[in-house]
Amino acid sequence: MKSDIVLYMVDGRGVSEESDREIFYKIKKKNPNIALVVNKLDNDKLEENVWDFANFGVDEVFPISLSHNRKVTRLLEWVFDKMETGEVVEDVESERVSKESEINIAIIGRVNVGKSSLLNALSKSDRSIVSPIAGTTIDPIDEVVEVSGNRIRFVDTAGIRRRGKIEGIEKYALQRTEKMLERSDIAVLVLDGSEGFHELDEKIAGLVDKHALATIIVINKWDKRIYEYEEAVQIVRDKFKFLYFAPIVTISALTHQRVHKIYDLIFKVFRNYTQRIPTSEVNRIVETAVAKHSLPAPKGNVLKIYYATQFGEAPPKISLVMNRPKLLHFSYKRYLIREFRKEFNFEGSPILILTRDRKNEKS
């Protein structure tokens, strides 16, 4: 039977089998519209198992969990792109794609930096609030805003409530921020430009780094600023070195000064955060980088990278399959990340590079 599209599914909790690869390559010769679907990857930890299938050497690898309806959207969108029309797909699937395509934003920062004012400014500038969703824990609220046909969900926008005593409010603020970040794609870190930056700002920013989210840094209350622009940017870069990739925008939520730029940044950063690089390009960049700056030889141990691939997005995750993965120093990973940033626009997005051996690949 002739097929227009082939989805070759493997068990993500197993290992990469030579027989699977042989069948896959035979099908691919007859039908180039084939994707490798790695199923049963129910969480982020299990998703790392997709490395084991990097030796298929294909660009279209989809780590999913059908039982948890996890990361199915990108697979469906790939299928839609390969089809002349989407009429054969049922309406319920189209609705699911639309829903899962929302961009989830967490507006975070200390108390009184202007988070609520910023949300109000964003939602009122000729945008339409689609729906508020009330929850049960300290009355969290999600606001869904439609911008140029795109749905943006501001996650849990309720302000911090006092719990009778002021003691522990910082700890509570950090816990609540972390819960918001767990549901988000992009963190909008709001700082107060009318005063110096605080230690709590750095602690909150550290949670963004922990969750490897796309990030936009907003310096609010710019109409009452105490720094000039260059000085403010330098201070932010010095204090938040781990967010070096995040764009910085100065605004006044009160006067709406430059607030409109935030939506432009959201769309740009989300594209960078979810982009995939073809396997051939990943290997070209790594090979060129190694040719320019040789791999280290810690204690005389020769390191070799056999191949590389992007095995995930949001954030982009690059896997290096090599002989002694534990010996590759983090400074060399940082060097490779810089090389990827030179070739592709990853502004606003972290890049994760992980290493593994080829124990599952049969010779």
Q: Are residues 138 and 223 in the same domain?
A: yes
**DSSP per-residue string spanning 88-106:** TS-HHHHHHHHHHTPEEEE
Compute the distance between CA of residue 297 and CA of residue 310 in angstroms, rounded to an integer.
Answer: 25
* Residues spanned by the domain of 327: 279-356
Q: List the Cα angle 137/142/146 in 5-degree steps.
A: 175
Region 9-16: what's the mean pLDDT? 86
Within a domain: 65 = yes
> Does 199 or 17 have the greater pLDDT score?
199
Domain count, the chain: 3
What is the rounded CA–CA span in Å between residue 301 and residue 303? 6
Average pLDDT over residues 83-91: 40
Residue at a domain's end among 65, 98, 131: 98
Do the beta carbons of residue 44 and residue 87 sit within 8 Å? Answer: no
**Looking at 4-18, 314-328, 335-349, which range is the least confident one?**
4-18
**pLDDT of amino acid 330:** 93
Half-sphere exposure of 9 (CA within 13 A, CB side): 9
Say whether both 85 and 180 belong to one domain: no
Tokens read off for 265: 């940044």
Question: CA-CA distance, 318 to 277, in Å (whole number)?
Answer: 9
- Better pLDDT: 70 or 161: 70
In this structure, the answer to whether residues 113 and 262 fall within a common structural domain is yes
Assign 359 a pLDDT band (cuts: 50, 70, 90): low
Placement of tokens 């105490």 in the chain: 226
pLDDT tens by residue, 265-314: 999 999 999 998 988 899 999 999 999 999 999 888 999 999 898 888 89
* Mean per-residue pLDDT, 87-104: 47
pLDDT tens for each residue of 115-168: 988 988 988 744 444 544 433 334 456 788 888 788 899 986 654 444 444 456
- The domain that holds 214 is classified in CATH as 3.40.50.300
CA 266 to chain centre: 12
172 shares its domain with 65: no
Q: Distance between CA atoms of 290 and 287, rounded to whole angstroms? A: 5
Same domain, yes or no, for 264 and 169? yes
Residue 334 belongs to domain with CATH number: 3.30.300.20
The predicted pLDDT at position 84 comes to 46
Burial pattern 6-20, b for ≥16 Cβ within 10 A else e, equals bebebebeeebeeeb
Average pLDDT, the chain: 82
Helix (H) or strand (E) segment spanning residue 309: strand 305-312
Question: How much is the average pLDDT of 333-357?
Answer: 95
Lowest mean pLDDT among 140-154, 165-179, 238-252: 165-179
**Mean pLDDT in residue range 240-251:** 96
Which pair of tokens denotes residue 115? Answer: 């988070």
Which residues, including other chains, have CB under 8 Å from residue 60's CB and lie 6 or more apart?
A: 34, 35, 36, 78
